[in-house]
Structure 1
Amino acid sequence: MTHRAIIHVDMDAFYASVEQRDNPGLRGRPVMVGGSGNRGVVAAASYEARQFGVRSAMPSARARRLCPSGVFVPARFERYRAVSRQVFEIFGDFSSRIEGLSLDEAFLDVSEWVGEKQKSLPDIGAELKRRITEATGLTASVGMAHNKLLAKIASDYDKPDGLVHIPIDQVQRFLDPLPIRRLSGIGPRTAGRLHGIGVFTVGQLRRTSLDVLSGLFGKHALELVERAAGIDEREVTTERVRRSISQETTFSDDRHDIEALVAVMAEQAEKVAQRLADRGFYARTVTIKLRSSGFSTITRSQSLGGHTRSARRILAGARELLEGWAGWRQQFAVRLIGVGVTGLSERPDESDLLE
């Protein structure tokens, strides 16, 4: 049986690494990309800043308390897009089947290279990694396996600057000791429920009775067992039908202030607008998602009156929805907030475009 050869590439601390590369004075220093004001949010953090506990989507005020020696720099999305194009051009030298997930992350199906050029998957991954560094001066973490699930786990395993291959005959040996949070789709709540029945590692999950898991997760139980066994039949898709684009942030503690939420939404709107531009789309409808501390979730949507990829317009619509929701409440506690867009079009009429 012939197996696929899949590579997952994840550029290391991409925005912050670009800033450190472009400004030698920032190299080796804790760098935080984003707004530095009291209501700003960290869009990206260098590995030096992460050592202090700084993470993306963290309020800048908290990041400054954790890392007082850190340097804030404003985001330069045009610059990041230009570097991303360089990286994706290199991807094109290795495969015609590229699934871009963001500016700094992608899956590549290199099965043809393995078959036609008689090269091993680890050799291809190492060459790809070398080419990226030579062209951009940046490092990437590269994961290799026979499916997307395992390739992604491999790229996350040894960051930064990792190069990890999971051979097909070593899957369970590699996966079994890992904590369950390393599996995609297992977040804090799912992990908490699994911990409650004594399941902490991927191997324990794989060996747990399907009946027990079905009692907790219903129809999703089989999915969990398959992931724990390293099973993933998804293909690398070069063209994905996008019905929506969104960005969400989950807070470690509840938020009670409109302006603080709007500051987070501003960063989210910027990222949504960036992804619209990257994919060549315009959006007609803006949506917000809110989750309370009690885990009840609501969404609100409204038409923008035309198609746009403007972060300013997306934020204005999102803010209006947020203020409309909060207007009649004396108090609220928000644990998660998200901004998204729908009604996507690649070629809207010029008369319908909003700047």
Structure 2
Amino acid sequence: MSKKKSHPYQPEQDVHRITLYNTIYPEHQHTSRKPRLYLHFDFACFYAQIEQLWNKMYGLPLIVGGWRKQNGQVKGIVATASYEARKFGIKTGMSAFEAWQLCPHVCMKQVDYDSYKAISEQVHYIFKEFAPVVERYSMDEYFMEVDFLLDKSRDEIEAFAKRLQNRIYEVTNLVGAVGIARAKTYSKLCSSLDKPKGRTLILTDDDERTKIWPLELDEVWGVARKRHKHILAEGYKTIGDVAQRGNEKTFMRLFGANFGKMLYQTITGQDQGRVMEEISEDYQLKQGVSYGHTFSEGSTDLDRIKGEYAIAVQHICYRMRSYGIRANSFFGMFGYNDPNSPGVGFRFVTQAHTNIDDYVYQALMDKVEPALKKACENGIEIRNIGLGTKEIDKTQQLNVFFQDNEEKVARTKAMDEIKNRFGRQYITKANTLTRVKGNTHFLERNA
């Protein structure tokens, strides 16, 4: 009798990748230093473009992520805004109410994640027509290895970029900008220089000096707010300042030997980042997996908030099993509805490395439930939650002092097989059914 075939895991299903890289890590780099060429394609206001196209709303200011309650109250968070809306000062991440205040006639649409994802997958196939190695960095951004263009003229390289843009538009009626550069980081930077549908080529030292060096340092991967302050304190304001006057030793002193060196190389365009296929191990697992979710309104219903955490646990544990990893150290957070109140972060550990939902959820509740209960009893509304792995294990070695319950493992495998075959919506744990009511700015938002 032939062995029953199992269905493959789908670790990237329902994942909206906000940010993948903090910088180009060593394991994301080529080992050789030969000349390379990278292409980065970035759709302009991807969600908004799709909604404008499907709803014949071209030329209208539109945000995705907002809606009105029955009483007319504006709720939600701006996931993206059309260029027409941005002219009024509307930005991604602000509340839909703020957007409405800036532009009272703004059109609002809720996120249709499944449809956007379907178009993203369609586009992925188109990119494969142009290059053998393609990385879908997020639903609306792609990297390509285009070393085969190295010996071509500038006109020929630009013609290649234009053919790609035309092909995307021919199939989807959507537009995006292209950046081509000698470093992966710089290709991403230069695609943003001529949006919504320009083409920017950084092929020479002079190109870098004139187009990249004037950019502010916080435009670069890895230069977050706190790091930016440290770098500014050293007298560096632009990429050019670091390229001309900076050195590795300064960054190593500020940020440590390994990360400091990598950050310096990223800023100065010396990284040799690989274009990584979507299901490669390195692509996702530098820092494990995580999940974040914002409720449409604040809640003081403890059971429903616990249900949202159960959903978070289910997501990250499924993805850990998909990648063949476990964790014993986790981080989490919850945020208040009051924007002036800082969120609460926490960490917790399980008895051993595991990817079984029950163990993670129990350890999570032992840590966070008392704080949640206190907030709810005092009428303090919770608005968002987050959960992720802190330390991961890829070895699959047996735990010495703790063993997963065989019945739990078997039941989990059976549930995974149903999810993999028919979809995650067809089976779930009972504790995930009690959710905070309302719409969300992302149907399921993961990072």
With the shorter chain as reference, the TM-score category is 0.7 to 0.9
- Aligned counterpart, 2:217: 180
Quick one: structure 1 residues 205 and 2, their matched pair in 2 at CA, closer, same or farther if it must change by over 3 Å? closer
- Aligned counterpart, 1:6: 38
Quick one: structure 1 residues 39 and 294, their matched pair in 2 at CA, closer, same or farther if it must change by over 3 Å? closer
Shift of 1:86: 2.3
The CA deviation string for residues 92-149 of structure 1, in whole angstroms up to 9 with x for no partner, is 1011201111221111112236569999432221211111112111111111012211
* Aligned residue type for 1:235: R
- Aligned counterpart, 1:16: 48
Quick one: structure 1 residues 340 and 137, their matched pair in 2 at CA, closer, same or farther if it must change by over 3 Å? farther
* Aligned residue type for 2:94: M
1:105 pairs with one of 141, 157, 176: 141
- Confirm whether residue 151 of structure 1 aligns to residue 187 of structure 2: yes
1:225 pairs with one of 264, 282, 307: 264
Distance (whole Å) between structure 2 residues aligned to residue 60 and residue 322 of structure 1:
30
* Aligned residue type for 2:415: S
Do 1:99 and 1:106's aligned partners in 2 also have CA atoms closer than 8 Å? yes
Distance (whole Å) between structure 1 residues aligned to residue 386 and residue 50 of structure 2:
26
* Aligned residue type for 2:280: R
- Aligned counterpart, 2:157: 121
Give the 5 Å matches for 1:182-201. 182-201=219-238
Shift of 1:87: 1.2
Q: 3-state SS of the aligned residue for 1:55? A: coil
Quick one: structure 1 residues 107 and 68, their matched pair in 2 at CA, closer, same or farther if it must change by over 3 Å? same
Distance (whole Å) between structure 1 residues aligned to residue 187 and residue 180 of structure 2:
5
Q: Which has the higher contact order (CA 8 A, sep 6+)?
A: 2
Give the 5 Å matches for 1:299-310. 299=347
Distance (whole Å) between structure 2 residues aligned to residue 334 and residue 186 of structure 1:
30
Distance (whole Å) between structure 1 residues aligned to residue 381 and residue 260 of structure 2:
31
Quick one: structure 1 residues 215 and 331, their matched pair in 2 at CA, closer, same or farther if it must change by over 3 Å? farther
Quick one: structure 1 residues 49 and 341, their matched pair in 2 at CA, closer, same or farther if it must change by over 3 Å? farther
Quick one: structure 1 residues 54 and 197, their matched pair in 2 at CA, closer, same or farther if it must change by over 3 Å? same
1:351 pairs with one of 400, 415, 428: 415
Shift of 1:61: 2.1
Give the 5 Å matches for 1:308-323. none
Quick one: structure 1 residues 338 and 67, their matched pair in 2 at CA, closer, same or farther if it must change by over 3 Å? farther
Give the 5 Å matches for 1:74-93. 74-93=110-129
- Aligned counterpart, 1:298: 346
Q: 3-state SS of the aligned residue for 1:190? A: helix
- Confirm whether residue 240 of structure 1 aligns to residue 280 of structure 2: yes
Structure 1: which 5+ residue stretches go unaligned? 251-255, 308-313
Distance (whole Å) between structure 1 residues aligned to residue 41 and residue 280 of structure 2:
18
- Aligned counterpart, 2:108: 72
Shift of 1:325: 3.7
* Aligned residue type for 1:100: R
Q: 3-state SS of the aligned residue for 1:153? A: helix
Distance (whole Å) between structure 2 residues aligned to residue 190 and residue 213 of structure 1:
10
Amino-acid identity (%): 26
1:29 pairs with one of 52, 57, 60: 60
Bigger radius of gyration, 1 or 2?
2
- Which has the higher mean CA deviation after the structures are superposed, 296-305 or 141-150? 296-305
Do 1:8 and 1:144's aligned partners in 2 also have CA atoms closer than 8 Å? yes
Quick one: structure 1 residues 210 and 57, their matched pair in 2 at CA, closer, same or farther if it must change by over 3 Å? same
Quick one: structure 1 residues 108 and 174, their matched pair in 2 at CA, closer, same or farther if it must change by over 3 Å? same
Q: 3-state SS of the aligned residue for 1:41? A: strand
* Aligned residue type for 1:217: F
- Aligned counterpart, 2:333: 289
TM-score for both structures, normalised by structure 2: 0.61
Quick one: structure 1 residues 152 and 68, their matched pair in 2 at CA, closer, same or farther if it must change by over 3 Å? same
Shift of 1:222: 2.4
Distance (whole Å) between structure 1 residues aligned to residue 100 and residue 203 of structure 2:
42
Distance (whole Å) between structure 2 residues aligned to residue 120 and residue 331 of structure 1:
64
Q: 3-state SS of the aligned residue for 1:164? A: strand
- Aligned counterpart, 2:91: 55
RMSD: 4.5
The CA deviation string for residues 194-233 of structure 1, in whole angstroms up to 9 with x for no partner, is 2233321112123135444444323233233222321111
Do 2:247 and 2:264's aligned partners in 1 also have CA atoms closer than 8 Å? no
Q: 3-state SS of the aligned residue for 2:223? A: coil
Q: How many residues are treated as equivalent by the alignment?
A: 329
Distance (whole Å) between structure 2 residues aligned to residue 92 and residue 306 of structure 1:
37
* Aligned residue type for 1:27: Y
Quick one: structure 1 residues 321 and 49, their matched pair in 2 at CA, closer, same or farther if it must change by over 3 Å? farther
Structure 2: which 5+ residue stretches go unaligned? 1-32, 394-411, 420-426, 429-447
Do 2:331 and 2:345's aligned partners in 1 also have CA atoms closer than 8 Å? no
Distance (whole Å) between structure 1 residues aligned to residue 356 and residue 370 of structure 2:
18
Distance (whole Å) between structure 1 residues aligned to residue 188 and residue 97 of structure 2:
32
Distance (whole Å) between structure 2 residues aligned to residue 159 and residue 205 of structure 1:
26
* Aligned residue type for 2:201: H
Shift of 1:180: 0.8
Distance (whole Å) between structure 2 residues aligned to residue 210 and residue 157 of structure 1:
27
